[in-house]
Amino acid sequence: MKWSRVVAVTVAVVGTNGGTQRSLDITATAVPGTDDLEEMATQIAAVFIDQLAGTVSGVPATTAALGAGTPVAGLLVVTHYAWFTDEYEIGLAWHVMVAPDDWAELYVRPRKVLAPTVAFRLDSWSTALGGGDFTVTEIDAPAEVTR
């Protein structure tokens, strides 16, 4: 969803402990941000898609089929991005480092399942984007998705 205005959101939180119930309204202001990661995320995802399309459920044939993505909160020097289709979440993480330590990982999670079912690792995203030799290997899918 693309939106361009400030929106106030109010959520009613109700807690019950035994026979006691308390409620609290929390209001937050949602402000549209800027997605400055989309171009890089899409370029790295394209490397995975070129290698995996047609062989892995949930991996689209082209990056155009990914639709709109969004940055996802990450930790330290690993950047996270995700795309959500009706059936799948496709997550990408890349290590912001110089080659050969600039790996990237992609996971696929069916939307009705809690954990990803398959994941892959690219040994060096900068080498791949620069036209050099790289490998994409299947890795253990993460046990959970962190938000």
Q: Is 90 exceeded by the pLDDT of residue 38?
A: yes
Weakest mean pLDDT among 30-39, 47-56, 91-100: 30-39
Task: Quickly tell me which residue has 């689209």 as its tokens.
Answer: 60
Q: Residue 30: which pLDDT band, with cuts at 50, 70 and 90?
A: confident
Which has more confidence, 5 or 111?
111
C-alpha span between 134 and 47 (Å, rounded): 10
CB 14 within 8 A of CB 23: yes
Which has more confidence, 86 or 102?
102
Q: What is the mean pLDDT of the chain?
A: 91
DSSP for 7-29, please give it.
Answer: EEEEEEEEEEETTEEEEEEEEEE
Task: Quickly tell me which residue has 């289709």 as its tokens.
Answer: 85
C-alpha span between 62 and 85 (Å, rounded): 13
Strand partners of residue 29: 8
Q: Residue 54: which pLDDT band, with cuts at 50, 70 and 90?
A: confident
Strands (E), 44-146: 69-72, 78-84, 88-95, 104-110, 118-122, 136-139
Write down the pLDDT at residue 73.
82
Q: Which two tokens stand for residue 102?
A: 């600039």
Question: Is the whole model's pTM more than 0.85, yes or no?
Answer: no
- What would the mean pLDDT of 59-77 be, rounded to a whole number? 87
